[in-house]
Structure 1
Amino acid sequence: MTGQRASIANAISIKRNADQIIDSISADDIGKLPDRSVTETLQRITGVTIDHFISRSDPDHFSVEGSGVNIRGLTFVRSELNGRDAFSANGGRTLSFEDVPPELLSGVDVYKNPSADLIEGGIGGLVNLRTRLPFDSKGQVISVSASGSLGDLRKELEPSFSALYSNHWQTPIGEIGILADVAYSVSATRTDGVQVEPYYPRTDLVSGETVYIPKGIDWRQLDFTRKRFGAYGALQWKPADNLEIVATVFQSRYKFHWDEHAIFAQTNAYNIQPAAGTQFQFDDNGVFQKGTETDTNASDGGMPFSDDVRSADQKSVTTDISGSIKWHPTERLTLRADVQHVHATNSSFDSTVATGVNLPSETVDLTKNVPSVSVDPAYLANASNYYWAFTMDERQHNVANEWAYRADLDYDLDTGGFLKSFRFGGRMTSTHADNKASPYNWQAVSQTWQVPGVIPRLAMLSEFPLASQNFGFGSNFYHGGANVPLNVIFPATSQATGYPDTYYALHDLTTQLCEEISPASDCPTFALAQFGDAQTNIQREKNYALYGLLKFDFDGSGLPLSGNLGLRWVQTTSNASGFIVQPAPISGAPAGGPVFTGVSEAINAKNKYHYFLPSLNLLYKLTPKLQARFAAARAMTRPDFTQLQAYTPLSASYDTTTGTYNFASTASGNPYLKPTTSTQFDAALEWYFGKASSLTGTVFYKHLNNIIRNVAVPFEFAGTTFNLTQPENVGTANIKGAEIGYNQAFTFLPGLLSGFGVTTNFTFVDSKTKVDVSSLQANSAAYVSANGVDTNGAIFGRLPLEGLSKYSYNVTGYYEKGILSARLAYNWRSRYLLATNVNGTQGSDGTPLTAGGVQCGASTAADHCVVWGLPTYNASYGQLDGSIFFKFMNDKVSFGIEAQNLNNAQNRVLMKQSTGLMGRAWFVSDRRYTASMRVTF
């Protein structure tokens, strides 16, 4: 048995013989997983789902290859490489799986319920990426592959290649093997999107009724280019029959660049009216359906829109150097020692420059499959109608290092009784993480709300003709399925990539205009994004663990029951370096009150905790082919380093009208957070009825403690109590569900039909959270972060856990006979919560927040100045992929075609508002086709 059927059989064998509840995917050839990325591969495993956004907190940017990985709906996922730590320098604790070339891997294992010898950290599950070793093959192996991919939107050729060499020899000093593996790939994709801005309540449009109207329709195109390089080397030495030494080096390099052209509304929703002689249409709930919108505020000169060109770059490098020794001093005793060093870096730069245009009107129709928008094309194509609007820069630089040491003792107790072995071991890690991330530094060049108080007029392109471009979205925008204007004046891409010189030139326009009416000292100042106290997150952490694991088997006494019982003890000590920034002197406060200076005070926040994590895994063989499992354990996941940042900026003000003080703060992190813990149970029934054939079912339950939410708590500083909003361990959650997996090789069918097979799975997950909201209701800003607030100020109730789809399934049909190997796979998941306030927090009149709160326009009523942030969901999504390969020369040569997104899937984003779940965004991306050839000898 070879190819796909062999890989399925191997994965089934791993699951059947494992001590824990586990699911696997194995390569059907050396270093060849069945997808273009590890993330895409993982979604084929029962209970595993992935996100399709570059970041969960950014639902405006779709990711073709997928990103975040959830197991059983939970984001608490631990990542490993060959049973050791694996992480990216992104402020978290896990590996960005899309960074890893799948060509370097021989398989992926997902552990659902741990045993005591597994490293702690994955409440949802543990993902272990497996690479090959030289002794895995009988002799010399040389394998090379090359491929080219093309997307039907981007239409750029994407080359990829990989090469592997492995061999081992008998020498005078023992058996020695070496393995070297390299892989390089490029992915060039495009995503087109249409978006609806949040809906705002209006009482002045329909007499006696409250209706809801969006402030505009947006559309965008994102061109994404990813380059990935990986190298892996292994040295295996067996100087004696009872001694083996292994050394490995693994490095993954991941770079992406994307350019985006987006036009989006910056209109004040309370200024929108129907165009003269027209009326808006609303549904029975008062929600806007269609109409022609205009802006009634004469000072705006139309409906303000921004047209931005955005250029973003990111580079990630993870290097793992590891070594291990396994020694059998006696027949019963095995000793293992392991050392590992991981060095990870991540740097990024994001640059946006925008023009602005004030549209006379915009005709919108939300009754279609994709929102439709019409604007006078001649007006949009005329550069004299545009002005220079804003710039925004953001950058990150992260470095993480870890040393890990492990020692294990395994003693064989099998003397004919039910006790089989006892394993004991310990592990110690030392981690340093230095993360720097500037905020998104949005600064106006010229905006309608600056006229005439700050500048006398807008910086029109006709007056200041810096580099711009007439960008055509093209007739194939959204595969021709969306009706939007296709020609818009944008800044030239060089305005974004020419940072910082282009930024200085643009903001010099603001200065020129401002100084026409104001002294230079009163004009806005410009500064580039900086790494200050607030943006520096320095973490030091040491972890210690000891475990004991007893394996037993009662089969010899006639009871087909086996398993293991274990206990793991872990202790963590951490240090977070940061600052408490006391308030500036309080303006207008009477004498005798609190006195502050605004000085930053360095702090070194220390935290220490320990946990006992028991585990039990049982296997009962009902028949030779039918077996049952039960697992119970306590697990934990530590907070991400971004959640542990030590930075607390305090603010204080005095209200002269009421004579009261306001002491408040919002901290970006909390260095005293505890891990989230889980008490969890699994029960499974597994039927293995043939080669590459099985039917398995699992039910599970998890009770989580110490889940983290943003809440308001009292904070004492210099004798004053501040209302501090920060992450806290405040709630519990219950997760329950079921998984079913079915694999069938139809070898019983006659002739050519015997090549067919199917592998499929289904997962149901349900969750309930319980968070103490009494403290949240006392502080609206805290509640925004926890559950979200609508544009009308309404507070949303309990929300599910982020990332959890109630239903998900995979169906893969394959055919393998002779030289032909074909596969068709469909993956689907139901709606899930992306984040609680991902659409951003701003004044409901569309203007940005200031340090003291909402900056409302002079024409905006006070009740419109609410701080809002909407819960955002991903609607159900399914994607069809396929491949067909031909093998020649005894399977040593293969040629094939792969295709992703054959169904041209549409991904929808929803936003929760008082009127229900409203459509937020509609995305489509390339259908990708790949031709590849592989030679192994």
Structure 2
Amino acid sequence: MTSEKLQRLGASRRRHRPIVIACHMTVAMCGATAAQAQQATQSLETVVVTGIRKSLETTTNLKRTATGLVDGIVAEDIGKFPDTNLAESMQRIAGVSIDRNASGEGSRVTVRGVGPEFNMVLLNGRQMPTSAGGTRAFDFANLSSDAVSALEVYKTARASSPTGGIGATINVKTARPLDQRETLASVGVKMNYDESIGRLPSEIAGSKTTPEVSGIYSTALANNTIGIAISGNYSKRNSGSNNAFTGNGWETTAWNKPGSAWAKSSPDGSWIGPIDGLKNYPTSGYVTHTNDVRYRVTDLERERINGQAVLQFAPSKDLKFTLDHTLAINTTKSKAIENSAWFGPSFSGALGSSPPSTFVTTGQVSDPIIQTATWDGTHDYAMYAAQFANKTKLNSTGLNAAWKVSEALNIDFDAHSSKSRTRPDSPYGSGNIIDLALFNQGNTTMYYDQKFPVMESKTLAYNSGKTTVTGSQFENNIADQDVDQVQLSGTYRLNAADKLLAGLGFTKLKNRSAGSNNFHGDWGGIGPQGSFKDVPVAQYSLPGFFNRIPGHDDPRQFQTFFVPDFNALRAQAVKNAQSYRPTSLGDGAPLSAAEAEAYFSPYTDFSHGNDWRTTEKSTSIYGQWDHAFDTEMPMNVSVGLRYERTKVDSTSQVTSYTGTVWYAENEVKLTGDTTTFGTKTGKYSYVLPSIDWDMDVTDKLKVRASYGVNIGRPAFSNMLGGIQLNANSGRYNINGSGSTGDPALKPLKSKNLDLSAEYYYTKSSYVAAGLFYKKVTDFFSTKVVQATFAGLNQPASGTYYDAARASGIPADSPKLLRNYILKNYNGQPGVKITDASDPTFLKGDILGSVPGTKPLVFDISTPSNGDGDNIKGVELNFSHVFGTTGFGVSGNYTYVKSGLEFNNNAATTDVQTGLVGISNSANLVGFFENDQWSVRAAYNWRGGFLAARDDNGNNPRYTEAYGQVDASIGYKIGKNLTLQADLLNLNDGYIRQHGRSKNEIISAIQTGRRYLVGARYRF
């Protein structure tokens, strides 16, 4: 065997699982010191390469020697991680896309089209809890990047990895002092300036400028036998978010369905035809409409505290103990003002000066591109003021022992206990809303021919004498998640070419999501109109809040945005309730001072809401054999098998009801609530094989192939026992809603095949191409089952309702129908007027117990396992450094295709299996560095994708394609001080979402540019 073969074989035999794997292009964004050549005066002259060149050389070499397909990000220096948070860093990796939160900041990741629910996130190899209610998706916005040394993204299945990441397993690695083996200390300060605050009304806007401070200290003592590391970060950010949207989605019905918004029906409810005067009304397929339009401006405040302490002890070179604790506190508060027009099922044809509702057909779905609602000038236009405040606290304590028993055997023991808690951070609960209604809205027309939803109202104007509070909601929600995990693994080297790996793991996960909702629909008002005239209501230009969204300046758009004061509004509402009994409480005396205060406050317990508790216990065992082949072209193969067994216990508190009441124009609610607990169990087990193969075709060209099976566990919200009915989901002529879960749901099962080729033409440059294929089965879908419940009847039916319809009142006039029943049957069983001051708009209750009522039908959404399909795609990567010029460029493109698509031409009652999150993505980064300057510019693009399945999973919400331009400039002063400027969202983009077609605007949201200026000093 030639010496060259021996060297290459030796290199292949020395391959280990990577400690830190870095992506070729994200390292280019670290703001590192310049690449430079230095001559050391030694016995042998040596060229030492530092900075970004050194990082690229190291990380590309690690990528080459990895088993399976692994990408990631490395911090070139502790405290110098790229981007502003971990999620935004990961979007630079091929195949990784991010979901942005309301402030425009990256929070969750999608990998190769697989959404956040199905990516397993680890912290130093440990499963982390996330107290986000019913979801498994980890929110990276909770973690600062300052103490993070690397992110590893394993895209292929491995026997040694915990299950759950069918998209990827993402390991967040933090600093370890005995790995550094030297004393490191640095302090950084930043100042954040957010332009989006300037697009908010001054009544809710926070400060545009906010601080961030971070520091880390790491040292090795006693001849490298004791290591201590302490890191901390404090950051505060205010940002603005402006959203034009529909709060209730788009309803899709058959074009000739009796009782639909567009139907002209006979008194018995049969189909006669469309409302007269509609334009381009279809003759087949489906017809859609929305119930409302909303314009919301929000100030968001995020305050984050992160800290980590690590203590290491190595009594010998063969034994090392690591004890660590991680703390993350993330406090979010927001103030929101929303103006909205509720249309309900009231739409028109020709109206003289108002244009008729006009349809545009896409496929088999017809949308109203113009949608006119008829009102008599006394309809309510809502102005809500809201506050939200939550605090999430993560505590994780872990112990690791690494023991080199002999030259052949290594044993690793790891255990941790981690807890995440989310609690309200306000005396008013986790979220609260008060609606102030203006009762002078006339005919209103919506135009959906722009990117922006345009609302035209020619008569609407502010009149304090026409205002009253109509609705309020005070939520008290909590979420807990605990993870206790023990892992034992070992590696035994049989010989130079063979190695065995084995492991055993136990995980106990407890999830609780509980909440109460003090909701009151006082649509008739708390007190007469004008009783809130002393509440301050500022007025602004509505189009001015949405200046980045095309169509905001449409001359048809209603121009005024009303801003009521929340505290004044609540105080007046409490005062009014002591003079006028709230209409939702029915007849009776006004409230006492204590009762009124409690009426506009959150419940202090959860007996009025949901309490969902799930315990998931998993046991795993795995084995793996690694072998290096002594062949002309060196090859390596790893064959593994993992067995996973899981048991699920789900206990859920649900609310049952005994009656119904039609208490306002379009509102039907459930009454007589009582709570009960129910328990369901489930279990499953899987044998999961994996195999990885790679070959060095030449010293520059490597090819790989991997096959593995993995599972993605159901969300906790899908595993609940009992049926939970939505007490406020009832509407006139519309079914109620509810949901139930199933802890016996099977996980998603994904069979994955990966092929790739990588050409490394210099130490810092390469090109790569990969193909991936995932066969997904047991996909989670939602089926809707219609059900009725004893005692819950539809008040808008029966003898009195039939008499009102027979009098000639059309089905789409609930106000007139109620007036008829209240006027003609007041005092009869189940009918009672509570306010007769306006004979044209009588207020009162019509119970579901009136004679002849029919059962209220509920659409109960139920999760189920359906058929599967495939996800396939291509990943292209490149990275190139232009010699010693300091210039470099890198980029990637990922194409993803799946048969798991939403069928836009199906009825809303059809079971859908569209996979959320699948999208193409691309990145392009250019950089320049010399001894002092570090400059980079990055463009990230994500194609359109299915963001959610709304309305029991059977209506789509698509996010349209969008891109973002970021840049950074670093300047080094001396050896220790670096000045840095980060410029984010330079293109000042917006994100738009739509329904089955682009005409169906669901949301158009804009934020703004953000600038960070700071300095870091390394001691």
Instruction: Tell me the TM-score normalised to structure 1 length.
Output: 0.81
Asked whether the 8 Å contact 2:708–2:753 carries over to 1, the reply is yes
In structure 1, which of residues 76, 95, 102 is the aligned counterpart of residue 138 of structure 2?
Answer: 95
Which residue of structure 2 aligns with residue 322 of structure 1? 398
Distance change (3 Å), C-alpha of 1:249 and 1:407: same
CA contact (8 A) 1:788 1:836 kept: no
Q: Where in structure 2 are the equivalents of 1:163-562 lying within 5 Å? A: 163-170=215-222, 175-195=225-245, 198=250, 201=262, 203-204=274-275, 206=277, 209-210=280-281, 217-272=293-348, 276-280=352-356, 282=358, 285=361, 295-296=374-375, 298=376, 301-348=377-424, 349-357=430-438, 358-362=440-444, 365-373=447-455, 375=457, 380-415=461-496, 418-419=497-498, 421-438=499-516, 441-445=518-522, 447=523, 450=524, 459=527, 462-465=530-533, 467-472=535-540, 476-479=544-547, 482-483=552-553, 487-494=560-567, 504-505=574-575, 507=577, 511=581, 518=587, 528=602, 531-532=606-607, 535-554=610-629, 556-562=630-636
Q: Is residue 570–residue 611 contact of structure 1 (8 Å, CA) maintained in 2?
A: yes
Structure 1 distance, partners of 2:923, 2:917, is 18
User: Counterpart of 1:154 in 2: which secondary structure?
Assistant: helix
Unaligned stretches of 5+ in structure 1?
55-61, 588-596, 652-662, 749-753, 771-785, 842-867
- Does residue 924 (structure 1) correspond to residue 1000 (structure 2)? The answer is no
The alignment partner of 2:157 has SS state of coil
CA shift for structure 1 position 640: 2.2
1:912 aligns with 2:996: yes
CA distance in 2, matches of 1:13, 1:931: 34
- Structure 2 residue aligned with 1:899, among 983, 994, 1004? 983
Contact 1:333 1:409 in 2 (8 A): yes
CA distance in 2, matches of 1:512, 1:218: 25
**1:570 alignment partner, one of 644, 650, 661:** 644
Distance across 2 between alignment mates of 1:142 and 1:318: 25
C-alpha separation between the residues in 1 aligned to 2:151 and 2:572? 46
Cα contact 2:79–2:215 (8 A) shared by 1 = no
Which residue of the partner structure matches residue 12 of structure 1? Answer: 60
1:6 Cα deviation from its structure 2 partner: 4.4
Equivalent of residue 727 in structure 1, options 857, 863, 874: 863
Aligned-partner residue type, residue 565 of structure 2: A
CA distance in 1, matches of 2:211, 2:109: 26
Q: Alpha-carbon deviations, 1:406-446, whole Å to 9, x = none?
A: 1112111124xx42x1111111122222221335x54223x
In structure 2, what is the equivalent of residue 28 of structure 1? Answer: 76
Secondary structure of the residue aligned to 1:136 is: helix
Distance 1:282 1:580 in 2: 43
CA contact (8 A) 1:827 1:878 kept: yes
Q: Which residue in 2 is equivalent to 1:691?
A: 763
CA distance in 1, matches of 2:56, 2:476: 44
Q: What is the letter of the counterpart of residue 674 of structure 1?
A: K
Q: Distance in 2 between matches of 1:666 and 1:410?
A: 51
Match in the other structure for 1:67: 107
SS in 2 for 1:563: strand
Cα drift, residue 873 of structure 1: 0.7
Q: How far, CA to CA, are the matches of 1:429 and 1:25 in structure 2? A: 28
TM-superposed deviation, 1:90: 1.6
Contact 1:579/1:602, CA 8 A, preserved across alignment? yes
Structure 1 residue 613, shift from structure 2 partner: 0.8
Aligned to 1:119, the other structure's residue is in SS state coil
| Cα distance between partner residues in 1 of 2:507 and 2:451 | 53
Distance (Å, rounded) in 2 between the aligned partners of 1:671 and 1:739: 36
Partner of 1:740: 876
Q: Is the 8 A contact 2:233 2:307 kept in 1?
A: yes
Rounded to whole Å, the distance in 1 between the matches of 2:229 and 2:573 is 49
* Superposition deviation, residue 801 in structure 1: 1.0
- Report the Cα distance in structure 2 between the residues aligned to 1:725 and 1:36, rounded to whole angstroms: 39
Question: d(CA) in 1 for partners of 2:714 and 2:563?
Answer: 41
Per-residue deviation at 1:259?
A: 1.1
Residues 579/279 of structure 1: CA separation in 2 closer, same or farther (3 Å cut): closer
Match of 2:938 in 1: 825
Provide the secondary structure at the position in 2 that maps to 1:153: helix
Mapped to 1, the partners of 2:559 and 2:181 lie a distance apart of 59
Give secondary structure in 2 for the equivalent of 1:279: coil
Determine which of 167, 172, 175 is the counterpart of 1:129. Answer: 172
Matched to 1:569, the amino acid is Y
Matched to 1:928, the amino acid is: R
State whether residues 647 and 669 of structure 1, in contact with CA within 8 Å, keep that contact through their aligned partners in structure 2.
yes
Alignment correspondent of 1:606: 681
| Cα separation, partners in 2 of 1:201 and 1:905, compared to 1, 3 Å | farther
1:788 and 1:796 in contact (8 A); partners too = no
- Does residue 761 (structure 1) correspond to residue 839 (structure 2)? The answer is no
State yes or no: 1:704 paired with 2:776: yes
Alignment match of 1:675 (pick from 729, 747, 759): 747
Q: 1:514 to 1:374 in 2, by over 3 A?
A: closer
Matched with 2:846 is none
Deviations 1:25-47 (A, max 9, x none): 11233122211111211211110
Q: How far apart, in 2, do the equivalents of 1:338 and 1:799 lie?
A: 38
Residue identity over aligned pairs, in percent, reads 23
Q: Note the alpha carbon deviations across 1:878-921, whole angstroms, 9 max, x for none.
A: 1111111111213x2111211111001121111116xx653332
Contact 1:896 1:933 in 2 (8 A): yes
Q: Deviations over 1:198-247 (max 9, x none)?
A: 48647335368417776664322111111111001111221111111111
Q: Is the 8 A contact 1:426 1:546 kept in 2?
A: yes
Checking the alignment, whether the CA contact within 8 Å between 1:267 and 1:304 is kept in structure 2 is: no
List aligned pairs for 1:752-831, cutoff 5 A. 754-769=885-900, 800-805=914-919, 807-831=920-944
1:534-567 superposed Cα distances (whole Å, 9 cap, x missing partner): 611112222111111111100x343411021111
What's the C-alpha RMSD, in Å, of the aligned pairs?
3.6
Q: CA 1:870–1:598 in 2, change beyond 3 Å: closer, same or farther?
A: closer
The answer to whether the Cα contact below 8 Å between 2:633 and 2:697 also exists between their aligned partners in 1 is no
Alignment-mate amino acid for residue 882 of structure 1: A
Which secondary structure state, in structure 2, belongs to the residue aligned with residue 68 of structure 1? strand
- 1:198–1:669 distance in 2 versus 1, CA, 3 Å: closer
Q: Which moved more, 1:758-767 or 1:571-580?
A: 571-580
Q: 1:580 to 1:182 in 2, by over 3 A?
A: closer
Inter-CA distance 375–606: structure 2 relative to 1 (3 Å threshold): closer
- 2: CA distance, partners of 1:10 / 1:565: 27
Stretch of structure 1 that moved more, 604-613 or 160-169: 604-613
Q: What CA deviation, in whole Å up to 9, does each residue of 1:723-756 have, x standing for no partner? A: 97521222212111111111111126xxxxx221
Aligned partners of 2:590 and 2:573: how far apart in 1? 20
- Count of aligned positions: 827
Contact 2:652-2:721 at 8 Å conserved across structures = yes
> Unmatched 5+ residue regions in structure 2?
1-34, 36-49, 199-207, 252-260, 264-273, 283-287, 425-429, 662-671, 727-734, 791-857
